[in-house]
Chain A
Amino acid sequence: MSLRHVTGGLGLLCAAWGGWLLLRQPEPWRIAVWLGGAVAVHDGLVAPLVFAVAALAAAAGLRLRGVPRAALIVAGSLTAIALPPLLRPGPAANPTVLPLDYLRNWLLAMAAVALVTVLHAALRALTRRAGRRA
């Protein structure tokens, strides 16, 4: 028996333990709906959207590589973690919960990412031109 088998066996045991704990919850099917729903939303909505944007960009002749692609990844990730405070309904429990202006912060972050991307592109264009002159 190799370490690979031990790891796999241990994994099965841990997963079975988690599954057993879930089955002991009241109405476990409600949890199953949320587990399945998470996959459905990602695989059926989020991922196709990302691939569709990439396909549209390619069709428009945009090359989403290097820094512009990295900028989109950073902006998308920041947006993902900014969604809960932006969308959460209902008032906060007290003024120290969600105390920030999250919309302003999100706009600031997007502007910062855009600024870095544009500066990088400008810098590269400049160094290229300088290189050509030399």
Chain B
Amino acid sequence: MRFTLPPGPPVTFKARLHDARTATAIGRWLGLAVVVCFATGVLSHYLQHPPGRLADLLPPRPYWGYRLTQGLHVASGTAAVPLLLAKLWAVYPRLFVWPPVRSLRHALERISVAVLVAAALFQLCTGLLNTFQWYPWPFNFVPVHYAVAWLLLGSLLLHLAVQWPQIRDHFTSRSPGTLALPAADGPDRRQLLLGVTAAAGAVTLTTVGQSVTALGALDLFAPRSPSHGVQGLPVNRTAAAARVTRASLADWRLTVDGPRPYTLTLEELRAMPQHDVTLPIACVEGWSKSAHWTGVRVRDLLQRAGAGPDARARVVSLEAAGAYRVMEMGRLYAQDPLTLLALRLNGEVLSLDHGYPARIIAPNRPGVLQTKWVGRLEAA
């Protein structure tokens, strides 16, 4: 039996603007969003899980660094949603190109585009759902989101290389390829691009308030809001979730380990020199908010245990279990004057959900590393 290809494609598209200029114009912005999202994401990955020796080299400044980069990560990913949908709309007719495969090269090209589209849709969907703490998939989010990020960046670079002649010929509205397209489409395309830009702006404005506190009033669809929180600050892991209760803290002591170990009661800790800092809590999920913290400098506590000025710190929480129960702090962080074992938040004693009696607050750090319910501090 011989299979013969039908003479024409099963679907044809009469609509306009499915051309290389539209795809390039949207692709420029989408590409930028993907690159920003990738760079900030990889940075966050290494800040959250510093590999070995790198831990001591991570800089605690600028203090707002992680707040900015992770805010950008989630904002660029959100803005990429309308951009990706518009881009796929522009190139959708190419899915029905006839004949479906012309040559080996053509087949490989189509496979690489399929990988690119799959990775892009996958990253935006899983990333967005993760910010809402919704995990409907049967795999571990963090390593898979990280792996597909490389798949997406790689297939994007490959796509840029393969499509380079087309991109070059349609890069601006005056490029030769653009000028060869029907001139009547020009105003229509401009209006379409304006619409897509407006959509990217709208999704950004209605979500970015979760990290840009000044835009909090416009926050319609973000999973967090700066105006909702205990003591003016949202909470991720509650005391109940960490199985820490007031009763379990009745005999609380801070144990500090080093060449000269010691323990302190809360009263003794309060009697030490207190420092005020203004630092944000910045979560990997994108939300962040600045707050006023009062407490004892970690470096003072380490010094009192006989640790030198190069000491690192290991901080152990009283929470029953959790991936971040034991937190390692590099040398530059441990010795930074802004790094506190905080006792007070926004003028009040820390609430139980914010880590009473004592929690870490340090500059330029993912929120999960701002360990709550600290029971033990080790000079390392």
Chain B residues with CB below 8 A from A18, complex form? 119, 147-154
Docked complex Cα distance between A100 and B207 (Å): 12
Q: Chain A at the B interface: mostly helix, strand, loop or mixed?
A: helix
What would be 29 A-B contacts, judged by CB atoms less than 8 Å apart? A7-B161, A12-B158, A13-B154, A15-B155, A15-B158, A17-B154, A34-B122, A35-B118, A39-B117, A42-B117, A47-B89, A51-B13, A65-B191, A70-B191, A74-B202, A77-B81, A77-B85, A77-B202, A77-B203, A80-B203, A81-B206, A85-B223, A93-B237, A94-B353, A97-B223, A97-B234, A100-B221, A102-B220, A109-B221
Docked complex Cα distance between A106 and B203 (Å): 12
**Chain A 17-60 near chain B by CB (<8 Å), digits 1 or 0:** 11101100111001100111011001100110011001000000
Q: Are A96 and B162 in contact (CB under 8 A)?
A: no
Chain A residues with CB below 8 A from B95, complex form? 43
Contact of B203 among A11, A22, A78 (CB under 8 A): A78
Chain A residues with CB below 8 A from B222, complex form? 100
A98 on interface, CB distance cutoff 8 Å: yes
Q: How large is the interface on B (under 10, 10 to 19, 20 to 34, 35 or more residues)?
A: 35 or more
Residues of chain A having any CB pair with chain B under 8 Å:
4-5, 7-8, 10-19, 21-22, 25-27, 30-31, 34-36, 38-39, 42-43, 46-47, 50-51, 54, 65-67, 69-71, 73-74, 76-78, 80-82, 84-85, 88, 92-100, 102, 105-106, 108-109
Residues of chain B having any CB pair with chain A under 8 Å:
13, 15, 78, 81-82, 85-86, 88-89, 92, 95, 114-115, 117-119, 121-122, 125-126, 128-129, 131-134, 137-140, 143-144, 146-162, 164, 188, 191-192, 194-196, 198-200, 202-203, 206-207, 219-225, 228-230, 234-238, 241, 353
Q: Are A77 and B15 in contact (CB under 8 A)?
A: no
Chain B residues with CB below 8 A from A100, complex form? 219-222, 225, 228
Question: CB-nearest residue of chain A relative to B233?
Answer: A96
| Candidate in A31, A97, A108 with the most chain B CB atoms within 10 angstroms | A97
The 4 A-B pairs at the shortest CB distance, nearest first, are namely A15-B154, A11-B157, A70-B195, A18-B150
Q: Are B196 and A73 in contact (CB under 8 A)?
A: yes
| Candidate in A5, A31, A69 with the most chain B CB atoms within 10 angstroms | A31
| Candidate in B154, B159, B191 with the most chain A CB atoms within 10 angstroms | B154
Q: Chain B at the A interface: mostly helix, strand, loop or mixed?
A: helix
Chain A residues with CB below 8 A from B160, complex form? 7, 11
Q: Are B223 and A82 in contact (CB under 8 A)?
A: no
Q: Are A39 and B89 in contact (CB under 8 A)?
A: no
Given known A4-B161, A11-B154, contact A109–B220 (CB-CB < 8 A): yes
Q: Are B132 and A84 in contact (CB under 8 A)?
A: yes
Docked complex Cα distance between A73 and B194 (Å): 10
Contact of B228 among A22, A84, A95, A105 (CB under 8 A): A95
Q: Are A7 and B157 in contact (CB under 8 A)?
A: yes
Q: Are A78 and B221 in contact (CB under 8 A)?
A: yes
Q: Are B207 and A81 in contact (CB under 8 A)?
A: yes
Chain A residues with CB below 8 A from B162, complex form? 8
Given known A25-B139, A25-B144, A35-B118, contact A65–B157 (CB-CB < 8 A): no
Q: Are B125 and A38 in contact (CB under 8 A)?
A: yes
Contact of B118 among A8, A26, A39, A65 (CB under 8 A): A39
Given known A7-B157, A94-B238, A96-B235, contact A25–B143 (CB-CB < 8 A): yes
Docked complex Cα distance between A94 and B230 (Å): 11
Given known A39-B118, A81-B207, A84-B134, contact A31–B144 (CB-CB < 8 A): yes
Docked complex Cα distance between A17 and B156 (Å): 14
Q: Are A11 and B118 in contact (CB under 8 A)?
A: no
Given known A11-B160, A35-B118, A85-B132, contact A74–B150 (CB-CB < 8 A): no
Contact of A99 among B158, B191, B225 (CB under 8 A): B225
Give the distance to chain B from A14, nearest Cβ to Cβ, in Å: 3
Contact of A80 among B85, B122, B137, B152 (CB under 8 A): B85
Q: Are A102 and B221 in contact (CB under 8 A)?
A: yes
Chain B residues with CB below 8 A from A95, complex form? 228
Q: Are B158 and A84 in contact (CB under 8 A)?
A: no
Q: Are B151 and A15 in contact (CB under 8 A)?
A: yes
Docked complex Cα distance between A105 and B225 (Å): 13
Chain A residues with CB below 8 A from B151, complex form? 14-15, 18-19, 22
Q: Are A34 and B137 in contact (CB under 8 A)?
A: yes
Docked complex Cα distance between A14 and B234 (Å): 37
Give the distance to chain A from B324, nearest Cβ to Cβ, in Å: 15
Give the distance to chain A from B51, nearest Cβ to Cβ, in Å: 14
Docked complex Cα distance between A8 and B203 (Å): 32
Contact of B88 among A13, A47, A76, A99 (CB under 8 A): A47
Chain A residues with CB below 8 A from B241, complex form? 93-94
